[in-house]
């Protein structure tokens, strides 16, 4: 069955960096784009970033543009989110979610990971 | 970019019907599909409606989605309310290169 497992969360000081990973299994990883979605404590869902199935296109939400970088390694079935210049407002549970269409994105998500918590605090 | 606005909370009694609205701030609601997610406490979201009206396998037919161009909004309707439906619900859409979520609606089953 489809599985997405996030890792790499933790506590980091403001201005610091962190790299999240999303390990995928149960499907042909190189056929699907993957999104990152975050949820601040007690708040709603916020779309963060998306990478196409082949890594050819990457999109970012305005609050993270220029600070976060999404990438993928299709040989390792893994998505990464490199987060730099972290701010208190980046504190959230970060979920990876698989796009629901092969190759061309449809921008909805049947499969989600369980999330990893990132806390930005001094 | 546009925004999606949902009511903060709705409530209903077991067996009754509730509707959660999702209003698009600019551009036509019909120009991109709207999807709906259910999120229970301390759990990842799960999709309950996709492409505005489609129900994934395993989601009961008590859940339905619709679009109203006159109000530029989408709606999620849950009929025959059950206590297990108590959760947060989020609408979601997209434009060319951005995903957009509504702020979420807390459903309380009284």
State the nearest Cα–Cα gap between B45 and chain A, in angstroms.
7
Q: What angle do CA B63, B73, B110 make, to 5 degrees?
A: 45
Distance from CA of B28 to the nearest CA of A (A): 17
pLDDT by position in tens, chain A (length 122):
999 999 999 999 999 999 999 999 999 999 999 999 999 999 999 999 999 999 999 999 999 999 999 999 999 999 999 999 999 999 999 999 999 999 999 999 999 999 999 999 99
Contacting residues of B for A45, CB less than 8 Å apart: 37, 39, 45, 90, 92, 101, 104
A1 touches chain B (CB under 8 A): no
What is residue A14's predicted lDDT score, i.e. its pLDDT? 98
**Candidate from B47, B50, B101 with C-beta closest to A44:** B101
Q: What is the pLDDT of residue A18?
A: 98
User: How would residue B1 be classed by pLDDT, with cut points 50, 70 and 90?
Assistant: confident
Report the residue from A35, A61, A114 with minimal CB separation from B44: A114
Q: Which residue has the tokens 């980046």?
A: A90
pLDDT in tens, B51-109: 999 999 999 999 999 999 999 999 999 999 999 999 999 999 998 899 999 999 999 99
What pLDDT score does A121 carry?
A: 97
pLDDT of residue B96: 84
Each residue of B14-31: pLDDT tens digit? 999 999 999 999 999 999
User: Is A106 in Cβ contact with B98 (below 8 Å)?
Assistant: no
List the single residue in B44, B56, B100 with the smallest CB-CB distance to A115: B44
């Amino acid at each position: 069955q489809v599985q997405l497992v996030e890792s790499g969360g933790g506590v980091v000081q403001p201005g610091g960096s962190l790299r999240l990973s999303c390990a995928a299994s149960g499907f042909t990883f190189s056929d699907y784009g993957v999104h990152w979605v975050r949820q601040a404590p007690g708040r709603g869902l916020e779309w963060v970033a998306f990478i196409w199935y082949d890594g050819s296109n990457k999109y970012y939400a305005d609050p993270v543009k220029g600070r976060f970088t999404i990438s993928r390694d299709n040989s390792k079935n893994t998505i990464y989110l490199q987060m730099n210049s972290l701010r208190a407002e980046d504190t959230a549970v970060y979920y990876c979610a698989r796009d629901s269409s092969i190759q061309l994105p449809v921008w909805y998500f049947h499969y989600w990971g369980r999330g990893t918590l990132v806390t930005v605090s001094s | 970019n546009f925004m999606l606005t949902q009511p903060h909370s709705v409530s209903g009694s077991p067996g009754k019907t509730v509707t959660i609205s999702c209003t698009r701030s600019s551009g036509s609601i019909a120009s991109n599909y709207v999807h709906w997610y259910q999120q229970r406490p301390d759990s990842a979201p799960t999709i309950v409606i996709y492409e505005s009206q489609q129900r994934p396998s395993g989601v009961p037919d008590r859940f339905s989605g619709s679009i109203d161009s006159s109000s530029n909004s989408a709606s999620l309707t849950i009929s025959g309310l059950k206590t297990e439906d108590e959760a947060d619900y989020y609408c979601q859409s997209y434009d060319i290169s951005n995903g957009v979520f509504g702020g979420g609606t807390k459903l309380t089953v009284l």
